[in-house]
Amino acid sequence: MGEVSDVVRTGRKFHQVLSGAREVFMADGFEGASVDDIARAAGVSKATLYSYFPDKRILFIEVVTNECNLMAERALNELDASRPPREVLTTAAHHILSSLLSEFSQRIFRIVLAERERFPELGSAFYACGPEMGTRRLSEYLAEAVAQGSLVIDDIPMAAEQFSELCKARLWVRAMFGVQNRFSEAEIDEVARNAVDMFMSRYGA
pTM of the entire structure?
0.81
pLDDT at 1: 45
> Which residues does 74 contact at the CB level (< 8 Å), separation at least 6?
95
pLDDT digits (tens, 9 = 90+) for 6-54: 566 767 788 899 999 999 998 898 888 999 999 999 999 999 999 889 8
151 forms beta bridges with 204
pLDDT digits (tens, 9 = 90+) for 132-170: 888 898 999 999 999 999 999 999 999 999 999 999 999
Identify the structural domains of the chain with CATH numbers, from first to last.
61-203 (1.10.357.10)
For residue 171, which of 65, 71, 94 has the smallest C-alpha distance? Answer: 94
Q: Are 176 and 106 in contact (CB under 8 A)?
A: yes
pLDDT at 111: 84
Q: Are 70 and 130 in contact (CB under 8 A)?
A: no
pLDDT at 127 over 70: yes
First to last CA, the chain: 42
Packing angle, helices 133-148 and 56-78, rounded to 10:
20
Give the phi and the psi of residue 60 in degrees, each rounded to 5.
-60, -45
